[in-house]
Amino acid sequence: MLSVTVDQLDPTPIYEQLAGIIREKIKAGDLAERQLVPSESSLQQKHGIARGSVRRAMELLREEGWVVTIQGRGTFVAPRENWPGKP
């Protein structure tokens, strides 16, 4: 089963959990290419975590090439050729 929210009791860092959740949504096509990813504040509220943790998760996904962030607009699913494991 795919987790839909973070688990505060899980020793895995919150931001890694959240990154994992969003990464899986992208892989599954639930979040499509170039689609707007939910905002930091909405993710913050939905999961009951701090914005800094959301930002760390997004930072991870950016580094991995899953998403692209544009100031003042939002975070978007990156074009498929930027995704990892796509040689």
Partner DNA sequence: GAGAATTTGTACGTATGTATG
Partner DNA sequence: ACATACATACGTACAAATTCT
Instruction: Tell me which residues touch DNA (CB under 7 A).
Output: 8, 13-16, 37, 39-42, 48-53, 55-56, 58, 69-75
Cβ proximity to DNA: between 3 and 41 the closer is 41
Pairing of strands 74-77, 67-70: antiparallel
Nearer to DNA, 73 or 86 (CB): 73
CB of 87 to DNA, least distance (A): 27
Residue 69: left if φ>0, alpha if ψ -120 to 50, beta else—which one?
beta
Taking the least distance from each CB to DNA, the nearer of 71 and 85 is 71
Residue 19 CB, shortest distance to DNA, in Å, is: 10
Q: Rounded to an integer, what distance in angstroms lies between the CA atom of residue 86 and that of residue 2?
A: 23
Q: In the complex, what is the shortest distance from the CB of residue 61 to DNA, in angstroms, rounded to a whole number?
A: 11
